[in-house]
Copies of this chain bind each other. A is one copy, B any other.
Amino acid sequence: MTRNTKVLEQLREKGYRVTPQRVMVLSAFGEREGHLGVEQIYQRVRQAYPYIDVATVYRTLQLFKRLHLVTEIELGGVMRFELAEAGGHHHMVCRQCGKAFDLSPSYLAEFRQRLIREFGFEPDLEHFAIAGLCALCAASNSAGTSKP
């Protein structure tokens, strides 16, 4: 909880109000690491407080994003949010099981350098996420050789 408390103090310091709704949106993340879609967050908060509106969730997430408390990444056309704390790690997300794996920035550094060096193109890699098939799913697919 100490992490969330810290975040909430940041809010108050900057003159924003600490409302139950904001606390709940924040703790929706706390329960599980990873990227959450708006709908997932909404449903989670609703379990605790059914009167919350999706608009509030959107507004809260926008606020958090503006304050760099969460980051927004897009993957496969779906926008997802995650706590910004970890800072600068990227993701590989399995298209089959949906699990996300962290990817150290060093893996991309090389690729990035090459683009800069050879094209002068500076890629946006802050919130890089790449879809694919994870080892487990690949294995289970080839196990049941017949059509999935």
Interface readout for A82-106 with B: 1 if CB under 8 Å, 0 if not?
0000000000101100000101000
Q: Which residue of the partner chain B has the closest CB to A92?
A: B121
Interface range on chain A: under 10, 10 to 19, 20 to 34, or 35 or more?
20 to 34
Interface readout for A103-126 with B: 1 if CB under 8 Å, 0 if not?
100011011001100011111110
Q: Which residue of the partner chain B has the closest CB to A115?
A: B92
Chain A binding site: helix, strand, loop or mixed by DSSP?
A: mixed
**Interface set of A (CB-CB < 8 Å, partner B):** 74, 76-77, 79, 92, 94-95, 101, 103, 107-108, 110-111, 114-115, 119-125, 130-135, 138
Q: Which residue of the partner chain B has the closest CB to A128?
A: B130
Interface-central residue, A94, A95, A111, A125, by most chain B CB under 10 Å: A111
B residues less than 8 Å from A122 (CB atoms): 132-133, 138
A109 CB, nearest partner CB in chain B, Å: 11
B residues less than 8 Å from A107 (CB atoms): 111, 114-115
Interface-central residue, A77, A95, A121, A132, by most chain B CB under 10 Å: A121
B residues less than 8 Å from A132 (CB atoms): 115, 121-124
A72 CB, nearest partner CB in chain B, Å: 9
Given contacts A92-B115, A94-B121, A125-B130, 16 further A-B contacts (CB under 8 A): A74-B77, A77-B79, A95-B124, A107-B114, A107-B115, A110-B111, A111-B111, A119-B134, A119-B135, A120-B134, A120-B138, A121-B132, A121-B133, A122-B133, A123-B132, A124-B133
